[in-house]
Amino acid sequence: MCGIAGIFHRDGRPADGRAVAAMSAALLHRGPDSESTWLDGPVGLAHRRLAIRDLSEAGRQPMLDASERIAVTYNGEIYNDRELRSELERSFGFRFRSTCDTEILPYAYLAWGEAMFERLEGFFAIGLWDRQERRLILARDGIGIKPLYYSESSSRVLFASEIKGITASGDVAARIDPVSLHTYLAAGHPGTRQSLFQDIKQLPPGTMIGFTERERTERRFWRPVRAPVIRDLDEAVVRLQSTIETVVKSQMVSDVPLAVLQSGGIDSSLITLTLGRLGLKPPLFTAGFTEKSHDETTVARQIAATAGLSLNVIDGEAGEEAESALRAV
C-alpha cells in the first residue's frame, strides 16, 4: 500500500509546494519507507512509498521516463510488468534502469497513450502528467481495489488516495454531502462516483479522466467479461483451481518476505492450500482470542497442517500486539 496525491492548477498558477507536502503528510501511514514530491509549474505530485518491488532508490516516485516528458505517481501492483517490459524494449527500444513495476508506466504511455490501461493486469491508482501535452491523467483499476479521490473546478484539480489527502491541501473543506450520506445509510455505500464529502468524488473503477487547462475527457477502459457457461461440475472445479493457482503465482513476486494472514474462512484457506499445492511455503499468521466466537485458531491450524505450512498464533488480546495492530490499521 502506497499513497499518492497531486495538484494541477488549470489556470497556470504554480503549484504550492507546501500544499503538496501537506497532502503527502496526511498519507504517511500508507507509505512509511520514503516520501517524495515533484513540482513542475502548475503541477505538483507526491508519493508515499511502501517498498515491495526494487527496494533501491531506483524505485522512488514520482518517477519520470528518460526524456522527462512523463511523470507518474502510482499505487498498486502490475502483475504482467515483465511481459510489458519485454515488449517495450523489443518493439520501441526503451531501456529500463530498475526492476520496479512503476517504471513501465511512463514508457507504456509513450508507446500506447491511453490504450496502455487496457494492457495493465493488476490493481492500481495512477496520476500521470504529460509535460508536452500539459495534461493530467487519473486512472483506476477495473475492480476499484485501489482508492482514488479527486476534486475539480475550472481552475484546479486535486487528487489523492484518501479524502484527507485532498482536505489537507487547505483548498477543500471537509463538509458532509447530505445526499451521499442518505445514499450511504440506505445502501451501505455512497455510489461509484461520489464520496461522503461535498466537492470530493471518487474515480469509478476501470475509468480514466484527462484534464488540460480547458478540457476534461473521461473514458471507461475496462468492463467485466462474461465467462462461458459451464454445466459440468468437474470442469468447473478444474477451471476454478487453475484460475486460483494462476492468480496466486502471479502475486508472489516481491523483494520483501511474504506471509499469509490465515483465518478460518474460505478466502485465506483457498490461498494457503494453493500455496501448499504449488510447493510455496510462506509463514502463516493468525490471531487467537479466549472468546470462542472470535477465535479461529482451531480451523487455522487444520488448514496449515493440511497445506504443510507453519502457523504463528498471535495473542489478539495482548496489549502490545493489540496496539501494534491498531497502529497498522
Give the catalytic positions in this structure.
Answer: 2
- Sheet with strand 70-78: strands edge to edge: 63-64, 70-78, 122-130, 135-140, 207-211, 216-220
Do the Cβ atoms of 190 and 183 come closer than 8 Å? yes
Question: In sequence order, what are the residues at sequence separation of 6 or more whose Cβ sits closer than 8 angstroms to the Cβ of residue 328?
Answer: none
Q: Are strands 311-315 and 284-288 parallel, antiparallel or unpaired?
A: parallel
Do the Cβ atoms of 9 and 42 come closer than 8 Å? yes
CA distance 28 to 23: 9
Give the three cell numbers for residue 268: 485465506
CA distance 107 to 122: 17
Q: How many CA atoms lie within 13 A of 321 on its CB side?
A: 11
- Return the bridge partners of 70, or none: 130
CA distance 154 to 151: 11
